[in-house]
Structure 1
Amino acid sequence: MKAKLVPIKNCVEKAKTWNPVAEAKDEIITYIDIAAVDNDLKKIVEPTLCLGSEAPSRARQLVQKNDVLVSTVRPNLNSVAVVSEKFSGATASTGYTVLRSLPEILDTQYLFHWVKTDYFINEMVKLATGQSYPAVSDRIILNSQIPLPSLEEQRRIASILDKADELRQKRQQAMEKLDQLLQATFIDMFGDPVSNPKNFPVHDLEFVASKVTDGTHHTPKRETSGIPLLSARNVLMGKIDFLNIDFVGEEEYERLRKRCEPKRGDILISCSGSIGRVSAVDTDRPFVMVRSAALLKLKKDIVTSKFMEYLLRTPYLQSQMIRSSKSSSQANLFQEPIKRLKIFLPSIELQENFEKFIAISTKEKEKLVQSNDKLEALFKSLQNQAFSGTL
């Protein structure tokens, strides 16, 4: 039997807002921006640590355990997550609608599963406005309706979907552990860059780079389709996101690539807002960037791209980048500080051995991805049954 439909706003309470620039200027805050949520895992994975005085203007919403975050921008990507105990007390961007369930009416996990359904996603896409940067408002999300059976039935449905989701999560955790293994292998092969126990030569980063630049400083002419235009939000840790993108036409692309033309083997760094997310370019797909992402072109006779990516991902280099960033309304990492980052440089032979290990691990990860796709299809089927009243 289908449950009655009720506006979400009738089942949630409002989260507290604050201004960390004024209220916690000397404190370190955890900031959950749009890029902090992994679209695939539906988890908060990469929040930013920053001084309250340097918090972005959108850092306003105080969240707590069990809040459900729903991104208002690009609803087709379904960037949603539940706040875990680890991030309780963090500050979320106003780019999220924070849904805090009234426990006597709505089960948190039931709500979380609902906002992941195709029905909810399609409704948000339909109601979104803005051609190049589609978005919905808090009001649209809060006014949308959710099937609301009894709490007992909500918990039964959530329990079934949780168990099915657990299978997917195990595959995803296996992929996460593989990434952790690669970082651990880096430390095992090269040592901690803080202490440099193997006494590798130390240089400024510009020693290994033939070019350090960033994307255009002028507002590009955007199109609804064409060649991808990336920004800091597209540079994730170890991955470039080609889903959440803008586009430029051929003529604009030709103009922009004169300053910054990423190629396979280059390194990208997010350098505005969320500082220090790093990924090697592993595609031949043409794209250009705006100012918020930096580009390193490496001297390939002395350094490999994956070595440089994993070096820049170490806590030591991450802390250097954060310390080197300057802030007005938000943190920015400029070209000169990037050039001055201190790195160690093992032999190219040792770096190439690391590259071989990366290549083997990448094949294993591809197998896990294929298995996860099958589990995803099974989960979607159960999800549709659950909210149509046939489970």
Structure 2
Amino acid sequence: MTFQRVKLGEVATIDRRTVSPGEIQGQEQYVGLDNITSGGDFQRISTSGESGLKSNKFAFTGGHILYGKLRPYLAKIAAPDFEGICSTDILPIRPGPNLDRRYLLHYLRTPEMIASASSKTVGINLPRLSPKVLEVFQIPLPRVEEQRRIAGVLDAAEALRAKRHQALERLDSLTQAIFIEMFGDPVSNPWGWRDDRVLADVSEVRSGITKGRKTGSDTLTAVPYLAVANVQDGFIQLEPLKSIEATGAEISKYSLQIGDIVLTEGGDPDKLGRGAVWNGQVDPCIHQNHVFRVRLIDDSMTPEFLSRLLGSHRGKRYFLRMAKQTTGIASINMTQLRAFPLLEPPRAAQDEFLSRLLRIQEVEATIQHSRKQLDVLFASLQQRAFRGEL
């Protein structure tokens, strides 16, 4: 079956009714881009009064889809079940009578649609998608009954993926709880662990390779490298892993070793200094200049404990205090990272933490495998659904 294709603007309306600061009552639910995850969930929703809004916003209802037009490759697309006001970097889309909201939500989230939207943005540092461009995107449009059936199938598949994601989040929370149980609050240091040294005293901190640099006439070799997107909070995301042309000297200088900690220098303020331990998943592999490498030179600390300490509230508070912030983006430099104030519990306690962490990671690996299988299934269902083959 082949579905007819229509322009989005023919079956839906992008509502841009602005609400001025004088019209805002203070009790409305407020949604900014930071309140929508890349998976389309809402997080840390506050009221307009708590957010201290001082500029015009858009109004939305529980019948809209909220579409993040800033950096559309992040896929910040959500379906609220409440009404409120949102940032003007979010477009409220109201489906018409011939378009099911859940069906449209799933279509806007397809990799093809996200890639197409990302290719049509304007602006280099802050790429945005014009509402007029969004309105002319073609969407497949079967009968409403068929749309609802397709949306129901995709909803069910997505619910299974969400359960795997929740299980992984619970494991991460368990790891954090074990860290606090064993070492106490890293901010207040209630057990009085040694705290008179900084990161530079126990490790070598280095930045990575710069794209676009001049290499002269030296022979170049393609080598995998970690970019910012690969370094997540507590884990390494290897898909996709890009390559860069580098000299032999550069590969030697920037190659990662098992036990290295990699951290990002910038990003959203709540993700500042995110990082993980490198376990030699790819060899060789180097890192770009926006990713710091921390290599321990003192055996009084383990990489796993240090990585968790850097990612704890102690680390996040320190990085936020030291960071340079512009337009919602925060960054730290190598000097600030080297000056990070340590806590140093006994090595035996750190080894016990590692032992417990490894047992959790075994369970995590099983869930990750199941999650990847579901992701493949969901991608197949998406493609078939909007081609009329479901």
Mapping of residues 334-349 of structure 1, within 5 Å: 334-349=333-348
- Could you tell me which residue of structure 2 aligns to residue 8 of structure 1? 8
Q: CA deviation at 1:345?
A: 0.8
- Paired letter, 2:276: S
Q: 1:208 to 1:350 in 2, by over 3 A?
A: farther
Deviations 1:70-109 (A, max 9, x none): 7868x7xx855427689x86769x8xxx553223254442
Stretch moving more, 267-276 or 63-72: 63-72
Paired with 2:321 and 2:85, the residues of 1 have a C-alpha distance of 24
1:264 to 258, 262, 269: 258
- Paired letter, 1:265: G
Show structure 2 runs of 5+ residues with no match: 19-30, 46-50, 122-126, 216-220
1:104 to 75, 90, 96: 96
Paired with 1:310 and 1:89, the residues of 2 have a C-alpha distance of 37
1:233 to 229, 232, 235: 229
Mapping of residues 247-286 of structure 1, within 5 Å: 247-251=243-247, 254-255=249-250, 258=253, 260-274=254-268, 275-283=272-280, 284-286=282-284
- Could you tell me which residue of structure 2 aligns to residue 332 of structure 1? 331
Stretch moving more, 360-369 or 268-277: 268-277
Stretch moving more, 6-15 or 314-323: 6-15
- Could you tell me which residue of structure 2 aligns to residue 159 of structure 1? 152
Count how many residue pairs are aligned between Structure 1 and Structure 2: 349
- Could you tell me which residue of structure 1 aligns to residue 218 of structure 2? none
Q: 1:234 to 1:79 in 2, by over 3 A?
A: farther
Q: 1:202 to 1:334 in 2, by over 3 A?
A: same
Indicate conservation of the 8 Å contact 2:193/2:345, yes or no.
Answer: yes
- Paired letter, 2:95: P
Indicate conservation of the 8 Å contact 2:186/2:313, yes or no.
Answer: no
- Could you tell me which residue of structure 2 aligns to residue 21 of structure 1? none
Between the aligned residues of both structures, percent identity stands at 27
Indicate conservation of the 8 Å contact 2:15/2:93, yes or no.
Answer: no
Q: CA deviation at 1:263?
A: 2.0
Indicate conservation of the 8 Å contact 2:261/2:276, yes or no.
Answer: yes
Q: 1:128 to 1:342 in 2, by over 3 A?
A: same
Paired with 1:109 and 1:245, the residues of 2 have a C-alpha distance of 32
Q: CA deviation at 1:229?
A: 3.7
Q: CA deviation at 1:378?
A: 4.0
Paired with 2:59 and 2:283, the residues of 1 have a C-alpha distance of 38
Paired with 1:328 and 1:167, the residues of 2 have a C-alpha distance of 38
Q: CA deviation at 1:348?
A: 1.0
- Could you tell me which residue of structure 2 aligns to residue 26 of structure 1? none
2:161 to 168, 176, 179: 168
Q: 1:324 to 1:72 in 2, by over 3 A?
A: closer
- Could you tell me which residue of structure 1 aligns to residue 137 of structure 2? 144
- Could you tell me which residue of structure 1 aligns to residue 21 of structure 2? none
Paired with 1:89 and 1:200, the residues of 2 have a C-alpha distance of 46
Q: RMSD in angstroms over aligned alpha carbons?
A: 4.2
SS of the residue 1:181 aligns to? helix
- Could you tell me which residue of structure 2 aligns to residue 132 of structure 1? none
- Report the TM-score when normalising by structure 1: 0.72
2:239 to 240, 243, 247: 243
Paired with 1:343 and 1:172, the residues of 2 have a C-alpha distance of 32
1:185 and 2:186 aligned: no
Paired with 2:58 and 2:262, the residues of 1 have a C-alpha distance of 31
- Paired letter, 2:349: L
Show structure 1 runs of 5+ residues with no match: 18-28, 53-59, 130-134
Paired with 1:160 and 1:241, the residues of 2 have a C-alpha distance of 28
Paired with 2:289 and 2:370, the residues of 1 have a C-alpha distance of 38
Paired with 1:84 and 1:317, the residues of 2 have a C-alpha distance of 33
Paired with 1:30 and 1:214, the residues of 2 have a C-alpha distance of 32
- Could you tell me which residue of structure 2 aligns to residue 322 of structure 1? 320
- Report the TM-score when normalising by structure 2: 0.72
Q: CA deviation at 1:384?
A: 4.3
Paired with 1:71 and 1:243, the residues of 2 have a C-alpha distance of 23
Paired with 1:209 and 1:90, the residues of 2 have a C-alpha distance of 46
Mapping of residues 119-138 of structure 1, within 5 Å: 120=113
